[in-house]
Amino acid sequence: MPFTFERTAIPGILLIEPHIVADGRGFLMETYKRSEFARAGIDEPFVQENHSRSQRGVLRGLHYQRAPHAQSKLIRVLSGEIFDVAVDIRPDSPTAGRWVGVTLSAANHRMVYVPHWCAHGFCVMSEHAEVAYLTTTEYAPAHETGFMWNDPVIGIAWPVSSPMLSERDTRWPPFVLERVKS
């Protein structure tokens, strides 16, 4: 099997290790194979791919899209290193408000699957990082929302204390579980 799927502390969020074939020329790896992902429980159509480049200390998030445009994501790093976070925002979930953080890098080739019922964000730990991710719905600005990156209720242990944020990310409200229902 070309992939290893590792469960995280929140069921449904999966850390994915691809099989890498390396030799003196470099390496080759499959980054997505529908049949393998479906066997692991990820049987969703990916319809859009995004690519970002950011410098050290940039934090993007925490974002999500509301139904009917909620997005599951498959995230990987093309260059550099990030700390990637997913927060369970399902109001009736036993893990509601809990988060999972993983280090993804070009060196470790790991990917993370973030289900549509999560908010997502990451911060850059290397000089620069390029991140690519597939989504299961197209970007719908009218359905996008989020909450504070440093919300004390969530308590994410980010590896940065004073990140660079977009103007939009400085304005997200605190996390309120009841708010995610709407």
- SS3 breakdown of the chain: % helix, strand, coil, rounded to 5? 10, 45, 45
Q: 19 an active-site residue?
A: no
In angstroms, rounded to a whole number, what is the distance separating the alpha carbons of residues 13 and 132? Answer: 17
Q: 139 an active-site residue?
A: no
Which residue of the set 19, 51, 63, 116 is catalytic? 63
Report how far apart, in Å, the C-alpha atoms of 65 and of each of 55, 122, 129, 134, 182 are.
Answer: 25, 16, 24, 14, 11
Which two tokens mark 180? Answer: 């995610």
Which residue of the set 69, 113, 116, 133 is catalytic? 133
Question: What residues are annotated to the active site?
Answer: 63, 133
